Amino acid sequence: MRELILGGARSGKSRLAEQLALASGLAVTYIATSQALDGEMTARIAHHQARRPVEWALCEEPLELARVLRDNAAPDRCLLVDCLTLWLTNLLMLDDPQRLQHEREALLQALGELPGRIILVSNETGLGVVPLGELTRRYVDAAGWLHQAVAAACDRVIFTVAGLPMILKGEAL
């Protein structure tokens, strides 16, 4: 089962992903893509850590997501990735379009081949105005294209607003 959970900031998407992972009854590995580059991000990471069950394994990887997924996937395991847009930001900040393209293609290929349950969390950024600044526009475009490709590869896609999940594709919760 492949699931993509989209939503805005503080929409409840991570909490929903954690609930689904817990309810799966499988061993869970939480794959964190964020980096504690400032105090605010450090606080966000601490908030997420405090919420997670202590028995969950943790893998922190800001760039090589497909490799980490392949290394940790198993038929009896649930992998929860939080989040794709932070991963995308990390790659965009490298200012290496070839690396971004390579990692994106590797992720999409891996999604079709991995055993077990995969839950991907990502921020939906394409609902607002066209952003000012070239890098921000690249980010919004890249996130939209990534979400479309990942959604096509997933069995279920959920959009979360105000803590309420809306099924866009696949079985009801």
pLDDT at 128: 74
- Report the percentage of the chain scoring pLDDT > 70: 100
**Of the listed 47, 48, 102, 147, which one is catalytic?**
48
Q: Catalytic site residue 48?
A: yes
pLDDT tens column, 96-124: 989 999 999 999 999 999 999 999 999 99
Q: Would you identify the CATH topology of the domain 7-11+19-169? A: Rossmann fold (3.40.50)
| pLDDT, the chain, mean | 94
The contacts of residue 77 (CB under 8 Å, 6+ apart) are 26, 27, 28, 29, 116, 117
Question: Considering the entire predicted model, what is its pTM?
Answer: 0.94
pLDDT at 43: 85
Q: Residue 22 in contact with residue 30, Cβ under 8 Å?
A: no
Instruction: Quickly state the pLDDT bin for 37 (edges 50, 70, 90).
Output: confident
CA distance 108 to 117: 15
Q: What is the 3-state composition of the chain as percent helix, strand, coil, each rounded to the nearest 5?
A: 45, 25, 30
- Which of 47-56, 126-135, 149-158: highest mean pLDDT? 149-158
CA distance 122 to 75: 24
pLDDT tens column, 43-102: 888 888 888 999 999 999 999 999 999 999 999 999 999 999 999 999 999 989 899 999
pLDDT at 22: 97
